[in-house]
Structure 1
Amino acid sequence: MQSNNYVFFLDLNRKGRKRPKCTFQLREKRNKELPLVRIDIIGRPHQNPDGTHVAVPLLKDNGNFKLSEQDLNNLILCLKKALKMKKIYFDWIDKKIQFTPSKTNNYITITTPFLDMYNDYIELIVFKGRDTQYVISDDGYTLDELGMLEINLNKKSKRRDYFESILLNFGVKKSNGELLIGFNNLNEFPDAQNRLTQCMLQVFDLLQTSKNNVIQYFKEDVTDYFIDNNIPVGEDLSLLGKSGRSSKFDIVIGRTKKKRQQAIKVINTPTTSNISNPLFRIIDVRERQPNTDFAVIANNIDQAISGDFISAFKNYNVPIYPWSDKEKWLSTFQIAS
């Protein structure tokens, strides 16, 4: 269920021998581990934080917690509507999903109704496995697409840690560039398909993570690029400014006989609103650090660097290096032999 600002999950659990046992649970996507509402019918007795006990089911004859006949009828009506929604959802899935055998009959392509980051339908393949009877795989699509966007998940980084945690949460393995799940019984197929699809969607969210994470990922990309090109760097070095305050610089390249020390601010969103803080820091420190050159590396992959941003730094003789041109300006930071 989705509103303008929130996405909600409606959970229904009717497993177990007790009938008509049912658990109804409502969660919000950004805090999935914290249910907003949970109702148990024919469930286990419950202890409140104050030590009082509530018997379940929550019928009007219970001494500790009472529902009127009208309240109970409203609850039943709500559950019936939820079950109807569940049936509509699965009917929609059945109509939208497509199975296409390969010409050689050695795998089956599954076209799901779910969309990837390009609004293309997510496709999976199923084939005979070695260690398990069957394997469902993304056929290498997920990592191939991230690789084309220069998102490297092979090196140790916060981004890779997040990626590996996603795989672990969904029980998905990475093998030879593919994301896959093995299973032995066809009854396990729906669950395996759902887990792999949801895993892929969450991996694609690596491109749409929170602002702080995106900034951190861009810093890591810049740092890794320098290291890959044999440029020794320091990270998050604080330099004292004229104001008496210390300012942190994302990347610092040490001084040599032929080059001065270089202190770099890495800006993920080079817009007008992001001028004052980094520019002030550079101006404040520059007078106290005469043997240091200052520069900005700006991320212009998703959006162009604003004209105001360029003009402001140019007025104070601070060079801006666009990330898309990194191969052109790399030599500026390389250590002279």
Structure 2
Amino acid sequence: MDFKDVRQMINELKMIANITPGEAIAVPVKNDKTCINLHGTNYDYLFDLNRKGHRKPKCTYQLRDANAKSKILFRIDLIGRPHPNPAGDYAYADKTLDCPHVHLADFPVYGIAVALPLDSPEVHMNLSPSDINNLVKCLKVTFERLNVANRTDFKYNLEDDIL
């Protein structure tokens, strides 16, 4: 699959498929995770909400191809370890980025291996530094970025505090 196909997958219209409108989408408690099924125009997806941290708190939201479950298309790491970027010819080469940061599988040449800061032009997310402590707001903005059309049909809950 080439970068153009991946970009189409990230940007295509999607719908939350396994939760009834009006029900709540819960950000999982620390050390837990959950998965939401998304149905797209041309593809089906898995959207992971992961707060399983081994030694430190973690919070990651990611979009995967349902037919190739190991293929991550988009990931936002809100809480977690810093990410060292590979060497290369791009703005963030050889830099280590703290959380929060975003990984895009359609990033030219390097794909998902590159972490991008939230204010990078490729990210297209409107999250301020103060928003990062609000995991529900981050989830809503992530759904907006991933073109989840029915995202406003649900309630959102946070089951515990951020740390």
TM-score over 0.5 for the pair: no
TM-score (norm 1): 0.20
Q: Which has the higher helix share?
A: 1
